[in-house]
Amino acid sequence: MNIKSIRFRLTLWYGALLALLLAAFSLAVYWGLDRYLRSMLIETLAAQSHQIGDEWLAGIATSGEDYLIDEIREHVSPENNNRFLRVTRADGSIVFQSDQPRDESFNPAAVSKVSISTDEGMRQERLPCGKELLIYSLPFHATGAGDFLIEVGASLSQINNTLHGLVIIFLATLPVAIAIAAVGGYGLMRRALRPVDEITRSAERISSLNLSQRLPVPATGDEIERLSATLNRMIARLEDSFKQITRFTADASHELRTPLTVVRGELEIALRNGQVPADIREAIESTLEETERLSKIVNDLMILSKLDSGQMQLEKSIFDLGELAASTTDQLTVLADEKQVSLSCSLRSQAKVEADRARIKQVLVNLIDNAIKYTPAGGRIEVSVRREDSNAIIEITDTGIGVPQEELPRIFDRFYRVDKARSRELGGSGLGLAISKSICEAHNGRIWVTSIPGSASTFSVELPAAEKEVS
């Protein structure tokens, strides 16, 4: 999983926002339930206080205190209901006080006494044992018996236990809910962004060789559809510009070929004239050499323009790449011997390809010729061919001057030369590697280089093996 992907970050934000919302909701439910349970308990205690005063304490002068106590025990039953109940006379003496509740959650004797002049209302008291009670106090005047204070209370442990259970439920269910929502959200975002993946894969397949292809445009009516349509229009503009450049290159190369041929012929005729002075002959020979170099550049540009435009017709056939490498190496041995460079070819395994033999040979000639040019006397060049999975690989390794690491990304660019002065001296135009790359890509292959500056370079060519070989 890519933690930097849009779908992961959106899922993370979605999960974090959902967690915050659920946490806020849980706090609101907790606080609301706490307020509700407290208010309900207060209403119950207040109702019991008024019931005791209005129904039984009001007639205590005639019915007696025993009747009051019996009615409280029969109808209120504070011990069984885990309630605190106390009725106090004006002089502070106690008419009735409940015993220890059934759940033994508090000790009634530990509840502090308050003045009978206390206003009607609710108070919260913490006992020495740590328990908290809500106590409703009701001052009451009984005719013929004087003033009394009715206190009815209940422990907050029941409310706290309920809230504690709610917290446990939240802690148990919320992480599961967030995890399920995050997984579901990731799935939905993956589905929503699937068109982006399709656009990405299609865009990676588009190169200078197939600019006529277009990205898929999902009929979703959203930003992705607009992005695809915009990118397609940009690709169309690039295709038009590329066609104009290719057409200009092809036309210019074509127009230059005839004048260059004429100039070359005239110069060769002039050289046959034995009456030409030596200094002029030298100038003519230099001009003829430059004309030949320019003709080669024009021919290379023609090849590149055909490869770029797709007009190059590849005459594919199945042949042994090792045999082609060996024969090409033998043909170029003369050039290597002139520079006192050792040139050898090793066939590690048979590798047949289905390709244009002439074009692949052109790639080999370009790479081996470059290796010979940039390998000093006494050096060596090895050409190797091997089969690797479903590909055939050629490697040309030399002990030459190498390529600086910062130059490697641009070495296959057109007209790019690492050492411009040395390349010009050796007759290089900066197009050989660009042509080799285009030929490899036209065969669905690739070319790359690894190098140690001042020590060695290895140019590798990878081509799909022939299907008959793969099966």
Percent of the chain past pLDDT 90, that is, above it, reads 36
Confidence of residue 418 (pLDDT cuts 50, 70, 90): low
Least confident window among 42-51, 172-181, 362-371, 425-434: 425-434
Residue 441 within a domain: yes
Same domain, yes or no, for 139 and 72?
A: yes
Residue 182 within a domain: no
Range of the domain at 75: 6-162
Same domain, yes or no, for 271 and 156?
A: no
Same domain, yes or no, for 374 and 288?
A: no
Upper half-sphere CA count for residue 268 (Cβ side, 13 Å): 8
Average pLDDT rounded to a whole number, residues 261-286: 80
Beta strands 380-388 and 342-347 are parallel
Same domain, yes or no, for 287 and 352?
A: no
Question: φ and ψ at 222, to 5 degrees?
Answer: -110, -165
**Nearby residues of 60 by Cβ (< 8 Å), 6 or more positions away:** 67, 68, 142, 145
Same domain, yes or no, for 456 and 323?
A: yes
Same domain, yes or no, for 371 and 451?
A: yes
Residue 170 within a domain: no
Residue 368 near residue 398, CB atoms below 8 Å? no
Mark out the alpha helices in 310-412 (DSSP H runs): 321-338, 357-373
In the prediction, which pLDDT does 343 show? 92
CA distance between the termini of the chain? 35
Same domain, yes or no, for 408 and 271?
A: no
Query: Mean pLDDT over all residues of the chain?
Result: 85
Q: Single out the residue in 131, 162, 193 at which a domain terminates.
A: 162
- Whether residue 329 has pLDDT greater than 60: yes
CATH of the domain at 375: 3.30.565.10
Q: Single out the residue in 133, 162, 191 at which a domain terminates.
A: 162
Of 414, 457, 141, the C-alpha closest to 301 is 414
In the prediction, which pLDDT does 25 show? 93
In the prediction, which pLDDT does 412 show? 85
* pTM score: 0.51
pLDDT digit string, tens, across residues 309-323: 666 678 889 999 999
CATH of the domain at 241: 1.10.287.130
Q: Single out the residue in 130, 162, 194 at which a domain terminates.
A: 162
Look up tokens 């060996």; give the residue: 326
Residue 84 near residue 95, CB atoms below 8 Å? no
Give the separation between CA 309 and CA 209, rounded to whole angstroms.
7
Residue 188 within a domain: no
Residue 452 near residue 432, CB atoms below 8 Å? no
Residue 79 near residue 96, CB atoms below 8 Å? no
Give the separation between CA 108 and CA 122, rounded to whole angstroms.
17
Residue 75 within a domain: yes
Same domain, yes or no, for 335 and 453?
A: yes
Residue 76 within a domain: yes
Angle (deg, nearest 10), helices 278-309 and 223-272: 150
Confidence of residue 251 (pLDDT cuts 50, 70, 90): low
Helix (H, G, I), strand (E, B) or coil at 87: strand
Give the separation between CA 336 and CA 344, rounded to whole angstroms.
10
Tokens in use for 12?
């993370």
Average pLDDT rounded to a whole number, residues 127-148: 90
Confidence of residue 40 (pLDDT cuts 50, 70, 90): very high
Same domain, yes or no, for 250 and 150?
A: no
Same domain, yes or no, for 346 and 444?
A: yes
Residue 30 within a domain: yes
Domain count, the chain: 3
Could you give the strand order of the β-sheet that contains 132-142, starting from the edge strand earlier in sequence? 94-97, 83-89, 146-155, 132-142, 121-126
Least confident window among 188-197, 354-363, 395-404: 188-197
Same domain, yes or no, for 324 and 465?
A: yes
Tokens in use for 267?
């110069």
- Whether residue 426 has pLDDT greater than 60: no
CATH of the domain at 148: 3.30.450.20
Same domain, yes or no, for 266 and 398?
A: no
